[in-house]
Amino acid sequence: MRYAMIIDLSRCIGCTACVVACKTHNNVPKNLFWSQVLFEEVGSYPNCRMEFTPVLCMNCDNPPCVRTCPTGASYKRDNGIVSVNNDQCIGCRSCMVSCPYGARQFMAGRPESYYPGKGESLLEARQREDFIRGVVSKCEFCAERLQGGLQPACVATCPTRARHFGDLDDPADPINRMIAEGRGRGLHEEAGTRPSVYYLPR
């Protein structure tokens, strides 16, 4: 089994529901993002438009973050997900330097408040209690949801069904047909990382 995600750029409307779902499900504090949507204005007036590109950890098949980690805290699971062992991570952030996608995050101190001086929201309280500081964190395709037979939070939340998730090693899985027929490609393939997130063209 090798998990992979497909993002259909022709369906993404830049609503950032995936970003919110990721932050709330994984207790990701303010100023840290495991999932983002990049906005770009293309064309010139009066023929211009906005284009949106969701980005997250690519959970690469050849991850440079794993090779550069000095303690073995970064590792690749048998299902292809790249993970971080919090007990082994020393917060050196060499993995962040080696990642061509800027997908890894680090926070040393207390999470910032969304509402300074207004008290702590329930989400912020949960982030303060549950989010582990001083170690590197990243998207892991919501591994605990997968164990329960659920899709990653961003996939389940997308209102336009721009995201799809499946097993690259299963020939019958629809994502393999979608990649082949839709000319699915990864970001920065020239880096040799063999990303497990594929993009279908606009």
Query: CA-based diameter of the chain, in Å?
Result: 54
Q: Is the pLDDT at 66 greater than 90, yes or no?
A: yes
Q: Is the pLDDT at 72 greater than 90, yes or no?
A: yes
Contact 9, 187 (CB under 8 A): no
C-alpha distances in Å from residue 33, one per residue of 21, 88, 102: 11, 22, 10
Half-sphere exposure of 146 (CA within 13 A, CB side): 19
pLDDT on residue 114: 85
pLDDT on residue 129: 82
Cα separation of 136 and 61, whole Å? Answer: 19
Q: Which residue has the higher pLDDT, 63 or 184?
A: 63
Structure tokens at 92: 């050196």
Q: What is the mean pLDDT of residues 166-185?
A: 91
Name which CATH class applies to 3-200: alpha beta
**Range with the largest mean pLDDT of 25-29, 88-92, 179-183:** 88-92
Contact 113, 61 (CB under 8 A): no
* Average pLDDT value for the chain: 94
pLDDT band of 47, cuts 50, 70, 90: very high
Q: Which residue has the tokens 């919501």?
A: 142
Q: What is the mean pLDDT of residues 108-135?
A: 85
